[in-house]
């Protein structure tokens, strides 16, 4: 039963078979390289598009209950490590994009939330979200998806706590520390219809924003899937290279892509013998840190805190990668 | 009536501003429309998800790009 859900409903193996048959009917040999590339491309674009639209809709509906203004109020009630944990958890359900990180940062700080809690939130928000959970489930299975989410949260909690312990409050830009906002506003009451409209709008805007990345991601995926020799992938990202995780993380950090764009690349690499932890490190690095989001964050914090934040994320992601590689056989 | 559109100057906020102008014109009322992009100001109002809309100093919408017809209902 679990297998069926994973393969046919989330994985949509039937769609692959259908496209294969359609292409054969058109006289294309799907066992050939070109035929195989086209099949992989069509199947993945359609599959990811369907998942994206469905997921964003459901997730946005849930997220409409957790605007950052509300998360801020909830967080104010917790202290110590508990606040870090709740911050990391709220990060997964609060709608987030890199352009909202500054107002959120200012809002949290001016409400007197500890710096570490804000960072737990800022780390977990892009790294772990409900969408990545379902998407990972469809490709790697439930166990790996859960492990990814739990470890992502652990990085967020530890990272935030560390920043707290380092007492880096002085490295937050002055305009943020001086921001004066003790007001708690009630989010306007939304009806079910409002939430449904919000969810629909989110699907449309996310789709427009992310679709080019999906095409690029699937394009790269189908090249890997059909043209890159397995031996290459194994040498660079497989068990032959002890530094595969470090390499994958460092390559992933400056890249800006949505998790929906990185999934097809990850899927193709795994099929070619790359190690699981190496791939997950790459995905975490791509989604958590990117040049645009770092440039944005630089406006809010001074270089030293920014560097600490980057270092904590990179070290955490690399450790997770090696952890997954060590336990790959028990998980897959 | 005083209407404030608040946002960091991204394209979403611009479209909300356009929609507000459209709604005000359609309703034919006199309203002062302010476009606030100063993040410090925005946070002072307690807003964290932009674009946001305030009518007579009350926050009526956050994090949503409303259409002109939605705004008409709020006016």
Per CB-CB distance under 8 Å, the chain A contacts of B46 are 69, 107, 181, 183-185
Helical residues (DSSP H) of chain A, grouped into ranges = 2-4, 13-25, 33-63, 68-75, 80-93, 101-110, 115-127, 130-140, 142-165, 174-177, 192-226, 230-237, 244-252, 259-271, 276-288, 291-298, 303-326, 328-331
Q: Which of B5, B13, B17, B36 is catalytic?
A: B13
Give the pLDDT of residue A2: 66
Is B10 known to be catalytic?
A: yes
Residue A165 pLDDT exceeds 70: yes
Between residues A332 and A306, the one the model is more confident about = A306
Contact A68 B10 (CB under 8 A): no
- Render the burial of A255-276: b for 16+ CB within 10 Å, e for the rest: eebbbbbbbbbbbbbbebbbbb
Total structural domains in chain B? 1
- As a whole number of angstroms, the distance between CA A139 and CA A137 comes to 5
- What is the average pLDDT value for chain B, to the nearest integer? 84
Q: How far is A299 from chain B (nearest CA, A)?
A: 12
Find out whether A305 and A284 touch, Cβ atoms under 8 Å.
no
Mean predicted confidence (pLDDT) in A244-271: 86
What pTM was computed for the model? 0.81
- pLDDT band for A316, please (50, 70, 90 cuts): very high
For A35-94, the pLDDT digits (tens) are: 888 888 898 899 888 888 888 898 889 888 888 888 888 898 998 899 999 999 998 887
- The segments of chain B whose pLDDT lies below 70 read 9-11
- As a whole number of angstroms, the distance between CA A314 and CA A249 comes to 7
Could you give the strand order of the β-sheet that contains B52-55, starting from the edge strand earlier in sequence? B32-36, B2-6, B52-55, B58-62
- As a whole number of angstroms, the distance between CA A44 and CA A265 comes to 10
User: C-alpha distances in angstroms, A120 versus A24, A75, A159?
Assistant: 51, 11, 7
Lowest mean pLDDT: which of A5-14, A61-70, A139-148, A249-258?
A: A5-14
Contact B49 A100 (CB under 8 A): yes
> 3-state class of A35 per DSSP?
helix
Residue A301's φ and ψ, nearest 5 degrees, are -125, 155
Residue A314 pLDDT exceeds 90: yes
- As a whole number of angstroms, the distance between CA A17 and CA B48 comes to 46
From A323, A148, A186, A322, select the one nearest A241 (Cα to Cα): A322
Contact B43 A106 (CB under 8 A): yes
Residue A297 pLDDT exceeds 80: yes
Q: Which of B1, B2, B8, B10 is catalytic?
A: B10
Residue A30 pLDDT exceeds 80: no
Domain that holds residue B31: 2-74
For the question of an ipTM over 0.85, the answer is no
Give the pLDDT of residue A305: 93
Q: How far is B72 from chain A (nearest CA, A)?
A: 15
CATH number for the domain spanning B70: value is 3.40.30.10
Q: Is B46 on the interface with A (CB under 8 A)?
A: yes
Residue A126 pLDDT exceeds 90: no
- As a whole number of angstroms, the distance between CA A101 and CA A119 comes to 11
Between residues B44 and A116, the one the model is more confident about = A116
Q: How far is B30 from chain A (nearest CA, A)?
A: 24
> 3-state class of B75 per DSSP?
coil
For A180-208, the pLDDT digits (tens) are: 665 666 667 788 888 998 889 888 888 88
Token pair recorded at residue A332:
């897959």
- As a whole number of angstroms, the distance between CA A40 and CA A222 comes to 6
Task: Provide the residue ranges of all domains of chain A, joining segments of one domain with +.
Answer: 2-183+201-331
% of chain B exceeding 70 in pLDDT: 96
Of B10, B42, B49, the CB nearest to A68: B49
Residue A237 pLDDT exceeds 80: yes
């Amino acid at each position: 039963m679990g297998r069926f859900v994973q393969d046919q409903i989330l994985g949509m193996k039937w769609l692959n078979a259908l496209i294969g048959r359609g292409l054969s009917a058109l006289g294309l040999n799907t066992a050939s390289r070109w035929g195989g590339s086209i099949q992989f491309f069509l199947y993945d674009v359609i599959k990811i598009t369907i998942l994206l639209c469905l997921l964003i809709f459901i997730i946005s509906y849930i997220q409409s209950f957790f605007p950052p203004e509300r998360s801020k109020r909830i967080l104010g009630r917790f202290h110590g490590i508990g606040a870090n944990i709740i911050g990391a958890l709220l990060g997964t359900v609060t709608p987030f994009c890199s352009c909202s990180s500054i107002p959120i940062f200012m809002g949290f700080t001016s409400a007197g939330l500890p710096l570490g809690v804000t960072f737990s939130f800022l780390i977990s928000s892009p790294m772990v979200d409900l969408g990545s959970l379902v998407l990972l489930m469809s490709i790697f299975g439930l166990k790996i998806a859960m492990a990814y989410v739990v470890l992502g949260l652990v990085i967020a909690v530890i990272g935030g706590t560390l920043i707290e312990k380092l007492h880096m409050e002085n490295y937050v830009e002055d305009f943020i520390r001086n921001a004066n906002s003790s007001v708690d506003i009630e989010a306007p009451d939304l009806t079910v219809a409002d939430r449904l409209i919000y969810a629909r709008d989110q699907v449309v805007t996310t789709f427009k924003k992310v679709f080019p990345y999906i095409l690029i991601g699937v394009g790269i995926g189908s090249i890997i899937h059909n043209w890159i020799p397995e031996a290459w992938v194994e040498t660079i990202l497989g068990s032959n290279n002890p530094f595969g995780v470090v390499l994958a993380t460092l390559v992933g950090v400056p890249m800006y892509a949505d998790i929906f764009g990185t999934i097809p690349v990850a899927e193709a690499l795994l099929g070619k013998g790359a190690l699981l932890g190496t791939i997950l490190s790459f995905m975490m690095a791509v989604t958590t840190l990117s040049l645009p989001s770092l440039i944005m964050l630089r406006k809010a914090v001074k270089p030293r805190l920014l560097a600490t934040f980057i270092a904590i994320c990179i070290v955490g992601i690399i450790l997770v990668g090696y952890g997954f590689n060590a336990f790959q056989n028990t998980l897959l | 009536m005083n209407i404030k559109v608040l946002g960091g100057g991204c394209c979403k906020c611009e479209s909300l501003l356009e929609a507000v102008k459209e709604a005000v014109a359609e309703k034919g009322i006199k309203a002062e429309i302010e476009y606030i992009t100063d993040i410090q100001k925005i946070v002072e109002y307690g807003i964290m998800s932009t674009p946001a809309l305030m009518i007579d100093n009350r926050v009526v919408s956050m994090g949503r790009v409303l259409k002109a017809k939605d705004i008409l209902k709020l006016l």
